[in-house]
Homo-oligomer: A and B are copies of this chain.
């Protein structure tokens, strides 16, 4: 099989340019590995006249990505435009409906339209792959879909937004408040145009929804991801968590339970000596747990030109080699409409509150917890300056509903100086 695989690349930002560079500079290596040449027929982007530091003169130019995806000399459409709808989706659909394979880095598009696109791919005998959409350069889609295919996956976890992990790590190491680090991250260009995508957990939530689908053979259901961003994480809680032996991470967790499919993306405490707790800066980490393999931890750069282009090229070379598989690991028609779990798996929680410095205050709080059936693992009253006493509690494992009941009871106590902060402690 020495017929070249001819790419059409739409989107020439950092990643698209990176892919062009690799195809140009590593042609011989890629041909040896793929068993056939990989070439570029045509490219497309919003602006044509822009120096991207790479020679594009060998390739046809299309202003319209749909036209690009439809060209006769394009076998594989590489979608690197982004955006859940609009041109990215239109061009992907044009390619798939023509039976052309598609490689994309577009987590938003797949999180919203993954099921429809997977069905369209399979109906037309096309392959749709998206390694670059999840955790950048880490081959996690491949590991889950292929490497662990002999497992029933029991849980998937991940720190999959480098910006959030950078912010939380920097707050921790520099002792800085959220707002200050947020501004710093903004100046460094780490934030998306709409920063809510990052700090609101949406980007990471998209990724979790994709991994969930593969892990549990379920239709992608981003709307069912319980989302909470890092905006309300304070340096106070980061410090207290540290004292108690934990780090706060924006952690995604997906698991199939008797109550349905649980998908959560939220700030959690994890032991600081665990691999997730030790993860610093913009790096990503994904933890895959299966009934056979126990636990696999994958760590690497979650963004950037090289790492993301590396993931795109992994998919391209697989397709060039003739690897053909379903989008989410089983035929799209077999993906179930998993019921979303209404409540999270029980866990210990970290609680921080301030009590008026009066006799019996702590007893009232303990009673509120006890009445909700929650027992206390550790309690610390820290130093206080004014008339209020900061109190930290680590509970034993409890349901979120019992916790909410206790929090509600506490909020009505006359000794509570400020509403308790509650953060889940994930066992990792």
Contacts and interface: CB of A to CB of B under 8 A. Distances in A.
Nearest to A151: B310
A-side binding surface: helix, strand, loop or mixed?
mixed
A150 to B, nearest CB: 3
B318 A321 contact: no
B151 A32 contact: no
A299 B321 CA distance: 27
B137 A293 contact: yes
Contact of A324 (B307, B312, B322, B331): B322
A69 to B, nearest CB: 22
A299 B297 contact: yes
A340 interface: no
A389 B101 CA distance: 69
Given A275-B275, A321-B325, A323-B321, A293 B298 contact: no
Interface in A313-340: 313-314, 316-318, 321-326, 329-331, 334
A294 interface: yes
A22 interface: yes
Interface string A24-42: 0010011011110000000
Nearest to A214: B33
A301 interface: yes
A34 B146 CA distance: 9
Contacts of A299: 275, 296-299
A291 interface: yes
A40 to B, nearest CB: 14
A87 interface: no
Contacts of A295: 300-301
A152 interface: yes
A248 B74 CA distance: 52
Contact of A307 (B131, B293, B326, B330): B293
Contacts of A30: 149-150
17 contacts: A22-B292, A33-B149, A34-B149, A137-B296, A139-B148, A143-B147, A146-B314, A146-B323, A149-B313, A150-B316, A275-B299, A293-B310, A294-B301, A295-B301, A298-B298, A322-B322, A323-B325
Interface of A: 18, 22, 26, 29-30, 32-35, 131, 137-139, 142-143, 146-152, 217, 273, 275, 278, 290-301, 304, 306-307, 309-314, 316-318, 321-326, 329-331, 334
| 9 pairs of A and B residues whose beta carbons are closest in the complex | A150-B313, A139-B147, A292-B310, A292-B306, A137-B293, A296-B300, A293-B310, A297-B299, A149-B317
